[in-house]
Structure 1
Amino acid sequence: MDGPDRESKWKGLLEWLGVFVVAFAVFALIRVFVVSPFVVPSGSMEPTILVGDQVFAQRVSAHLGDTPEVGDIVVFKNPVSDSSHEILVKRVVARAGQTVDMIDGQVYVDGVALKEPYVVGESYPLPMQAPGVSIDYPYVVPEGSLWMMGDNRENSSDSRYFGAVPTDNVVGTVFFRYWPFSRIGSM
């Protein structure tokens, strides 16, 4: 094979290579800036999300600097460096400027008891905090931070342990569970 036939095969191969490079670049951009998959590492969000569930989190809001709303389930970088889990999944309970308290196993935000039908167990301050963290209740969430708690309150190291989470640590807001198929659906 010489001449135009060989040249057209190379041209076709280069076109396909170009298509794959562009497709990969688009996929990478979407994964970094729009939507990313995450595997839930612990049982702290049970029964809402189970250990090993795989979820999608939209990242656009975090990149735009939008603060998640109270009740949103978010993926964030663990503020405690000595933890085995780099990424955590918890629910936003309070935003900057709000006051969090726990009385008789119930969470109060700005003096109002939260209605949390998804919670398992009672909500009490934890007996220990992370090294260098000291939390007194009622607690006012500092500017640029969120108060996060797991739905499985008796089995969750959350803001009661590591304090308020800087909004810069938020990676994305969970919106869809894609695995296991038996529980697939929006969150």
Structure 2
Amino acid sequence: MNRLFSTSSKSRFARLFEFHPPEPRAVARFTVRALQGCLFTHLFWEHFYSVGSTVGASMLPTMNILGDYIVISKLHIRGRGVEVGDMVSYLHPVHAGPGERVVKRIIGMPGDFVVADPVGAPGKMVQVPEGHCWTTGDNLPFSYDSRNYGPVPLALIRGKVIARLYPNRRWFENALKPVEEY
């Protein structure tokens, strides 16, 4: 008798959808690997690098108003290793909603003297207190920053912005050079 027309055996299509329970060892191995992957991903995003999107005009022209995806290095958490000229992501000191973060540029570190508001009150100098930094946006008229709420505690810094992934890839480097004395 021809196998294609046999009524006693299951068709190839039916055999595809038969349930074969997996071996317990395979299930345990898969579960362990999935947990390891989740743990590694969590540790990587929490302690090394993260990606976030930007919204707002305060960092124009360095970043667009909407739609930029940036890479944040968590190795610089709490201000570790940051210096004047770096862009940092930190928890907003005034609007401390859950996850309310901002990206600004550091223009003063502890002990530095900075102009408090070069647009509104030119000439008024402020010394940055210990454990704090002074931040501003690159687009001063549209930035809500240290000129409005004062120095930012270094403990609020969640990382240093090191690159833009989208729309145009770009690594951010601190372009400030030390002043040479003659």
TM-score bracket relative to the smaller structure:
0.7 to 0.9
- Secondary structure of the residue that 1:70 maps to in structure 2? coil
- Say whether residues 1:125 and 2:109 are aligned partners: no
Partners in 1 of 2:95 and 2:72 — Cα distance? 22
Q: Which moved more, 1:70-79 or 1:37-46?
A: 37-46
Unaligned runs of 5+ in 1: 1-5, 108-122, 127-135
Q: What is residue 136 of structure 2 aligned with on the other side?
A: 149
Shift of 1:9: 2.1
Partners in 1 of 2:101 and 2:38 — Cα distance? 25
Partners in 2 of 1:173 and 1:99 — Cα distance? 22
Partners in 2 of 1:56 and 1:145 — Cα distance? 23
Shift of 1:83: 7.6
Superposed CA offset, 1:52-102 (max 9, x none) = 311111111216x61411010000000112789810000000101101126
- Say whether residues 1:98 and 2:112 are aligned partners: yes
* TM-score normalised to structure 2 length: 0.75
CA RMSD of aligned residues (A): 2.5
Aligned length: 151
* TM-score normalised to structure 1 length: 0.73
- Say whether residues 1:59 and 2:54 are aligned partners: no
Distance 1:144 1:82, change over 3 A: closer
Q: What is residue 14 of structure 2 aligned with on the other side?
A: none
Partners in 1 of 2:53 and 2:94 — Cα distance? 19
Distance 1:84 1:30, change over 3 A: closer
Superposed CA offset, 1:127-158 (max 9, x none) = xxxxxxxxx92111111000000001111011
Determine if contact 2:87/2:106 at 8 Å carries over to the other structure: yes
Determine if contact 1:146/1:165 at 8 Å carries over to the other structure: yes
Determine if contact 2:76/2:158 at 8 Å carries over to the other structure: no
Unaligned runs of 5+ in 2: 1-19, 173-182
Counterpart of 2:156 (choices 169, 175, 185) is 169
The AA in structure 2 aligned to 1:61 is H
The structure with the larger Rg is: 2
Determine if contact 1:74/1:92 at 8 Å carries over to the other structure: yes
Shift of 1:18: 1.0
Overall identity of the aligned pairs, in %: 27
Partners in 1 of 2:148 and 2:49 — Cα distance? 29
Counterpart of 1:159 (choices 146, 151, 157) is 146
